[in-house]
Amino acid sequence: MTGSDAARFILIGTSHPGNVGAAARAMKVMGFADLVLVAPRQADVQHHAEAVAMASGATDVLAAARVVDTLVDALQGVTYACATAMTPRDFGPPTVAPRDLFAALATNPHRLGFVFGSERFGLGNDDVYKCHACISIPTSPDYGSLNLGQAVQLIAYDWRQAIGGFDVVPRTADPLLADAPAVQGLIDHWEQALLQLEFLEPQRPRKLMARLHQLANRVRLTQDELQILRGIARAIEKQAAAAQVGNLGKRPGAESPGHAANPPKLR
């Protein structure tokens, strides 16, 4: 184990195979692969169906996990061990938030080990005393219960960020913005559709189209977005035209009882 990327994640006495798989997945997405299981309750947990399912694409990390009998065995080669615990203790190593500790550890050549207790009982005092520090993930004071896989993910993320993090993958291409003539064409199209819909009153336009033009400019429409909006306008025109044809085809007095002679206009 060499370098910060080789931080070891140690799980003690796990009882649920799915949590082991989830921990492997949490590690891999942050670029870590050294997983050690101390006396897991499920034999051959690395190959358990639930663990494999929860590991998703991190089955290589899961399959390579080592099983040992004691925490001392798991800490071989580790020069700085971090216990994880939510319950404050009167005695033992100092308890700190992960980011506060990691900022200092990131500049040291330590080989780290992160130690997690069982799902039901957490870490026992004897295991905490074997560690150099106790890290506690800040949570709501009203509810601080974390699933084991979630806790591993949070610690793995914070440590990855402390040692440099990964670059965000940019989108594959920047969308093409609609130019001024295209936006004007959209506004003209909207105007025709809104007239057919009788939403726009030609005698009292109330600067509606000017406001819509300002809106289109402010949001900086892409070409694809503009085509979607023109498609909506075409659908409005089509439905309005169909409604007008239906009204013209009705003969006076032919309405069914209980129906109005003049159906409501589209709004």
Q: Which CATH class is domain 4-162?
A: alpha beta
pLDDT-based confidence at 1, cuts 50/70/90? very low
Share of the chain above pLDDT 70, in %: 89
pLDDT at residue 67 in the model: 97
DSSP state string for the chain: --SGGG-EEEEES---HHHHHHHHHHHHHTT--EEEEES-SSTTGGG-HHHHHHHGGGHHHHHT-EEESSHHHHTTT-SEEEEE-SS--SSSSPEE-HHHHHHHHTTS---EEEEE-BTTTB--HHHHHTSSEEE----BTTB----HHHHHHHHHHHHHHHTT--PPPPPSSPPPBP-HHHHHHHHHHHHHHHHHHT-S-TT--TTHHHHHHHHHHHHT-BHHHHHHHHHHHHHHHHHHHHHHHHHHTPPTT-SPTTS-SSPPPP-
Residue 53 confidence (pLDDT) above 60: yes
Residue 248 confidence (pLDDT) above 80: no
Convert the pLDDT of each residue in 62-109 to its tens digit. Answer: 999 999 999 999 999 999 999 998 666 667 788 899 998 999 999 888
pLDDT-based confidence at 266, cuts 50/70/90? very low
Convert the pLDDT of each residue in 13-38 to its tens digit. Answer: 999 999 999 999 999 999 999 999 99
Decide which of 89 and 158 is more confident.
Answer: 158
Is 1.10.8 the CATH number for 180-248? Answer: yes
Enumerate the domain spans of the chain. 4-162, 180-248
> Is the fold of 4-162 the same as that of 180-248?
no
Share of the chain above pLDDT 90, in %: 65
